[in-house]
Amino acid sequence: MTVASVEFTILAVPVAAASFITGYFWGKRNLRSTPEMSQESPEKLMQTEKSNGHTEEQVTPSGLTLNREEIKTITDLIAILQKNISAVIEGSEKAFISLIQAVNQLGEKSRNGTREAENLAGKIYGTGDVADAENEGLIAEAFRQLRDSGNRSTNALMELKRDMQSGAESCRDVSLKLEESLTSFVKQIEDIAYQTNLLALNASIEAARAGSYGRGFTVVAHEIRRLSDVTTETVRKVEKLAREISVAINGIAARLHAYVQKIDDEQGRIEANKIHSQEKLQRITQDVFNVTHTIVGLLSGTINEINEALVTAQFQDLARQQMEHVIGGLTELRGHFENWEQQAKDADRSPSELLNVLINKYTTTIERKNHETVTGHKVGQEGTVGRVNAELGTNVELF
């Protein structure tokens, strides 16, 4: 039921009610007027009263006799219908206002969810309103830092490789020099051995001649001294070579130590970059969790709003039922007016029976309160369809 249909119903009901009452009065006039009565003046008709001991009637200017109980019943019935129609209008307006507010709130929540999603995408991927030259996406920044760290590590390893190659070349040079020096040293030792053999041979020869003059021993002594000098010089060369080898080895050790230090420094940088990247990823994860939690909250609120809208729609359906009851009451009233003559003959239905029919159709508390306000009689919950709480009554049709 829409607001337009409710307003149309409100405009149509008084017209229909007036038509029904006019028909009722006209039927009563045709039923209860007599030729003698119609010939009397309106003033006399207004003053005439009849009494049969149970029912009192009044004469109107048109010559129509009306039962006071019937007038009271019809008046109460119309008043009840009017109040119920007013209640339907008020409830419908409130329901539609609530629905409009619910729809607006749903739209606002949807917009908020969209903005949150856009902000999340911009924050993570570096797109949208939050992306600029100084505030790039967290994931893009993390990957860039990881890439730079990898490049630095690669460059450091390449430099370390070059240094190690240079150290290897130095070791080879030292090895060659050592080999050459040792070869020369061995050759000199061989020469010394050879000369010693010759001296030994000469000494043997001269010894054989010792008996003569012994000049050969002088030569042998000279050669032995010269051999001693050569041996001394060779020892000095060996000492110098040993010092050079020691310096070269120490240099290699120092360079290897420097290599180890570089490796340690690079490992420290890699570890620091790793920790920094982990912290950024943790922040990203936390941001994703927070935004997800916000979106879930928005969705939960949206679900609650939808539930409230459904409840409002249910009460709107109750308003539809009230209007159907009002229309049904008017239909009963019209049928009562149209068939008054037959009902009067059969005496099986009275205007008060219309109230009973209407009472049995009540489904809401407001209908019963309106009835009690007009008639002064409290109406019980005569409905028989289902069981719900006291605010809605017991005869309630929900969709």
Q: For the chain, give every domain's residue range.
A: 3-131+308-375, 138-294
Cα Dmax for the chain: 212
In the DSSP assignment, the letter for residue 126 is S
The span from the CA of 79 to the CA of 66, in Å, is: 19
Query: Which pLDDT score, from 0 to 100, does residue 1 have?
Result: 45
* Cβ(248)–Cβ(170) below 8 Å: yes
pLDDT along the chain (399 residues), means of 10: 41 44 46 42 40 44 56 74 74 72 71 67 54 52 69 73 71 71 71 70 69 64 70 73 75 74 75 76 75 72 69 65 69 61 50 71 79 78 44 49
CATH fold of 138-294:
Helix Hairpins (1.10.287)
164 contact partners, CB below 8 Å, separation of at least 6:
259
CA distance 28 to 68: 13
Alpha helices in 62-214 (DSSP H): 68-125, 138-208
60 HSE (CA, 13 A, CB side): 13
* SS3 of 57-86: EEECCCCCEEEHHHHHHHHHHHHHHHHHHH
Cα(89)–Cα(94) distance, integer angstroms: 9
Q: How far is residue 350's CA from residue 331's CA, in Å, rounded to a whole number?
A: 15
Q: Beginning with the edge strand found earlier in the chain, give each strand of the sheet holding 56-59 in spatial order.
A: 49-51, 56-59, 65-67
